[in-house]
């Protein structure tokens, strides 16, 4: 499913230019390539700053990468910052999979509201509503 979505010709990435979010096309940095190849976080330090790239994994499949830059010369990512970004990337993965499953479920429901039977002992009836 993710492979189909990735090959659909959508813009593969976005970046923040200091003023707005803009498409970056299929530009990949060396740390992004390393994170995709090794399927783990990659930290790169340079004179001009440092970079952090983390793979976005859904159901064991790498579907993308988060790439972050510190532009201050000599600035490096701390262990706490890396852990925070790893946690946020994991939450992003869960949100993406939830959105995919919601889309599948929504397309499977009839055009009218669907109210399935509640399981025994359920205090409230389940309600599915199309938006």
37 lies in which domain range? 28-97
The sheet carrying 61-70 orders its strands as 42-46, 49-58, 61-70
Task: Please indicate, yes or no, if residue 85 is contained in any of the structural domains.
Answer: yes
Tens of pLDDT, residue by residue over 17-55, are 778 777 776 677 888 888 888 889 999 888 778 999 999
Joined together, the tokens standing for residue 27 give: 């530009």
92: nearest Cα among 63, 131, 50? 63
DSSP state of 74: T
Predicted model pTM: 0.67
**6 three-state secondary structure:** helix
Indicate the number of domains in the chain: 1
- In 10 A of CB 61, how many CB atoms? 13
- 8-17, 35-44, 79-88, 106-115 — most confident range: 79-88
Task: Please indicate, yes or no, if residue 9 is contained in any of the structural domains.
Answer: no
Task: Please indicate, yes or no, if residue 83 is contained in any of the structural domains.
Answer: yes
85: nearest Cα among 35, 37, 48? 35
Query: Any idea which residue has 């090794």 for tokens?
Result: 38
Task: Please indicate, yes or no, if residue 67 is contained in any of the structural domains.
Answer: yes
CATH of residue 71's domain is 3.30.450.40
């Amino acid at each position: 499913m993710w492979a189909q979505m990735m090959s659909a010709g959508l813009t593969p990435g976005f970046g923040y230019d200091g003023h707005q979010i803009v498409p970056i096309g299929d530009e990949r940095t060396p740390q992004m390539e390393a994170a995709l190849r090794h399927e783990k976080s990659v930290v790169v330090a340079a004179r001009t700053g440092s970079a952090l790239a983390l793979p976005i994994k859904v159901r064991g499949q790498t579907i993308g990468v988060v790439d972050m830059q510190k532009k201050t010369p000599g600035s490096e990512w701390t262990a706490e910052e890396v852990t925070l970004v790893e946690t946020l990337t994991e939450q992003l993965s869960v949100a993406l999979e939830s959105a995919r499953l919601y889309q599948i479920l929504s397309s499977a429901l009839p055009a009218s509201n669907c109210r399935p039977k509640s399981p025994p002992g359920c205090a409230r009836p389940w309600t599915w509503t199309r938006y």
